[in-house]
Amino acid sequence: MKTRKRYILAKVESTYGTDPTPTAALNAILTTGLQRTIYAGDTVARNLDRSTLGADEQLNVGPFAQVTFGVELAGSGTEGTAPAWGPLLRACGFDEDITVDTSVEYSPVSDDYDSVTIYYDQDGERQILKGARGTVQFMMNPGQIPMMQFTFTGLYAKPAAITPVTPVVSSFMAPLPVNKTNTPTCTLGTYDAVLRALEVDWGGEVPYLNFVNLEEVFIVDRAPVGNMTILAPDIGDKDIFALAESHNGVTLSAFQIVHGTTAGNIITVDAPKAQLSGIQETDISGELGYQFGLRLLPDAGDDELVITLT
């Protein structure tokens, strides 16, 4: 089998763990760096007593599978139409709210999580991961393609032979690189920050549980953290140190970044309460830069990171 001849299909489940039958025409995902862990899980040894030395058999007490991959961050091309990667965010603990002809918003939820069935096809062989849920990292670095990096855990099933299909990925728009033209807004409070790098880890805690009468992948917590590098401002223009200090009280700022300028492909990321920490100096082509740790905190609740497509 050829290593590069691989793709996935993913579709939201109506009932947890029940295969909704993703199709190549409607549910193909355009990925980068697609990898899988075919057969994972905790093991126990039998630890048998015997008259000779030697190893014991080990049993997998709860088999599951995982897939990791990147997806380019771009809109659907039409206002109020969900992007093809929408099911993936839904299975990472986000709600999808569509306003027809206007916008699509993804905001976090704390219960009633969606799940997806993922078909992992590898050159004529298919592994089906039902009940899959996951977590995501967002990367928006100037000079690079904006990306989402997903990790999904699903129920184990042994791979089986299939007739290969042709995935249709025409609904995925070509991405715009992050730069001054394509990314017109990056603000901390009212300050226009000169962004050099931004990465946010959604920090989803997604355990697989296998008990009597229960087998499921859960989402039990999240803690969005990351790091950000900006060009150092003159302290007279912006006292950036006040945002990073926490020894005498914490200062929180609203953070926003807008990527894209054409209707249908404008992505706005809002964090109402961002905390900077751990300021470090870095060189940016001879200019002074500051690198911070980043924590995204909820305001009213279930709003610490909201992604809006317009």
**Domain range summary for the chain, segments of one domain joined by +:** 6-41+60-309
DSSP the chain: --TT-EEEEEEE-SSTT------TTTSEE--EEEEEEEEE--EEE-----SS-----EEESS-EEEEEEEEE----SSTT---TTHHHHHTTTEEEEEETTTEEEEEE-SSS---EEEEEEESSEEEEEEEEEEEEEEE--TTS--EEEEEEEEE----EE--------TTSPPP---STTT--EEEETTEE--EEEEEEE---B--EEEETTEEEE---B---EEEEEEEPPPTTT--HHHHH--BTB---EEEEEEE--STTS-EEEEEEEEEEEEEEEEEETTEEEEEEEEEEE-SSSS-SSEEEE-
Nearest to 155, CA basis, from 124, 202, 118: 118
pLDDT by 10s per residue, the chain, length 310: 888 999 999 999 999 999 999 999 999 999 999 999 999 999 999 999 999 999 999 999 999 999 999 999 999 999 999 999 999 999 999 999 999 999 999 999 999 999 999 999 999 999 999 999 999 999 999 999 999 999 999 999 999 999 989 999 999 999 999 999 999 999 999 999 999 999 999 999 999 999 999 999 999 999 999 999 999 999 988 999 999 999 988 999 999 999 999 999 999 999 999 999 999 999 999 999 999 999 999 999 999 999 999 9
| pLDDT score of 1 | 86
DSSP class per residue in 28-69: EE--EEEEEEEEE--EEE-----SS-----EEESS-EEEEEE
Longest dimension (CA), the chain: 79
274 touches 188 (CB < 8 A): yes
Residue with tokens 């961050």: 73
Tell me the per-residue pLDDT of 175-230, one tens digit each, with 9 for 90 and over. Answer: 999 999 999 999 999 999 999 999 999 999 999 999 999 999 999 999 999 999 99
Q: Which residues pair with 90 in a beta bridge?
A: none
Three-state SS at 290: strand
294 in Cβ contact with 225 (< 8 Å): yes
- Confidence (pTM): 0.95
